[in-house]
């Protein structure tokens, strides 16, 4: 029904004609589905996944997102009902600890971000034993 709304409907709803006259086009948008969200994550030239892959390349590592991981990210964004804009906050939340640990794992190979990492069920990097610094006299 929303796609059928026209200027007269907007005026009848109560918006003043001066405001409606400044809106050259009236268009209704439908929410993105999971497939569309995955496309937003992967297809644009500056897609979020490509940005993170580039960040990993700066540390001499490779990053790969599985299809299930991309779908899990899309589902989380759909749950928040924030559309494609919500994808950035979801992926930043998932990648926060990973990006913090990345410099310690510099040049150590290839990593795959899967659904379990997105859901928080497993860590991408295995924790390394931290070297303790002892004070010598």
Which domain CATH number covers 85?
Answer: 1.10.8.60
Q: pLDDT band at 41, cuts 50/70/90?
A: very high
Highest mean pLDDT among 23-37, 63-77, 104-118: 63-77
Q: Residues 107, 60: contact at Cβ < 8 Å?
A: yes
pTM of the model: 0.71
Per this entry, what is the length of the chain?
A: 137
Mean pLDDT of 79-88: 88
Is there a domain that residue 69 lies in?
A: yes
Classify residue 8: in a domain, yes or no: no
Give the per-residue pLDDT at 126.
66
Task: Tell me the β-bridge partners of 110.
Answer: 62
Q: What is the pLDDT of residue 36?
A: 94
Taking the C-alpha atoms of residue 36 and residue 68, their distance in angstroms, rounded to an integer, is 14
Domain with 79, as residue range(s), is 48-118
CA dist 97 to 24, 78, 102, 108, Å?
A: 45, 23, 9, 17
High-pLDDT (> 90) share of the chain, %: 38
State the Cα torsion 9-13-18-23 to the nearest 10°: -50
Q: Is residue 127 part of a domain?
A: no
What is the number of domains present in the chain?
1
Specify if 59 maps to a domain: yes
């Amino acid at each position: 029904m929303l796609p059928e709304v026209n200027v007269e409907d907007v005026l009848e709803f109560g918006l003043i004609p001066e405001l409606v006259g400044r809106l050259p086009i009236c268009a209704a948008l439908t929410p993105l589905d999971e497939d569309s969200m995955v496309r937003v994550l992967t297809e644009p030239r500056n897609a979020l996944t490509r940005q993170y892959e580039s960040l990993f390349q700066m540390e001499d590592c490779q990053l790969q997102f599985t299809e299930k991981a991309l779908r899990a990210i899309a589902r989380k964004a759909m749950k928040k009902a924030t559309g494609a804009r919500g994808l950035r906050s979801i992926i930043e939340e998932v990648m926060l600890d990973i990006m913090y640990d990345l410099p310690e794992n510099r040049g150590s190979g290839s990593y795959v971000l899967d659904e379990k990492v997105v859901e928080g069920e497993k860590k991408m990097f295995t924790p390394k034993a931290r070297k303790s610094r002892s004070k010598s006299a």
